[in-house]
Amino acid sequence: MTNGKALSRREAVRNLVVLAAGSALIGCTKESKPLSCVDTSGLSSDEAAMRKTLEYVDQTPTPPKQCDGCQLFKPAAPESCGACTVLKGPIHPKGYCKSWVQKPA
Ligand code: SF4
């Protein structure tokens, strides 16, 4: 502790090391958890059933046909689930369903 005095050089270096380690840990945690947009707990049974009927998946089986290239996709912040005009609930930018429509160029 400093007891009201300026930080010693040793304390300042130690604080910087702790700060850098904490930032690196947060960065690693963010990168290691893939985006998931499959939580349908807030949907009605009909809304959840519609996702199954249209065979929504988080990862398209037919690239480049994916939600962020679909006319019906409503993007959110980067690395976040978006929304869809047809399907309720979270939508992965790399997802896909049978209602995919090419976004106009
Ligand atoms: S219609 Fe289907 S492919 Fe298009 S954004 Fe919605 S879920 Fe994705």
Q: Give me the CATH number covering residue 78.
A: 4.10.490.10
Please report which confidence band the pLDDT of residue 33 belongs to, taking 50, 70 and 90 as the band edges: confident
Mutation pick for ligand 1 pocket among 100, 101, 102, 103 (CB with most ligand atoms within 8 Å)? 100
The phi and psi torsions of 104 (rounded to 5 degrees) equal: -60, 145
Supply the range of the domain harboring residue 102.
36-105
Same domain, 45 and 63: yes
Same domain, 21 and 47: no
| The model's pTM | 0.72
**Atom 2 in ligand 1: residue holding the nearest Cα:** 97
Percentages (nearest 5) of helix, strand, coil residues in the chain = 35, 10, 55
d(CA 67, CA 93): 5
The per-residue pLDDT for range 59-74, each reduced to its tens digit, is: 999 999 999 999 999 9
Residue 62 pLDDT:
97
State the distance from the centre of ligand 1 to the C-alpha of 42, rounded, in angstroms: 19
Helix (H) or strand (E) holding 20: helix 9-32
The per-residue pLDDT for range 75-105, each reduced to its tens digit, is: 999 999 999 999 999 999 999 999 999 999 8
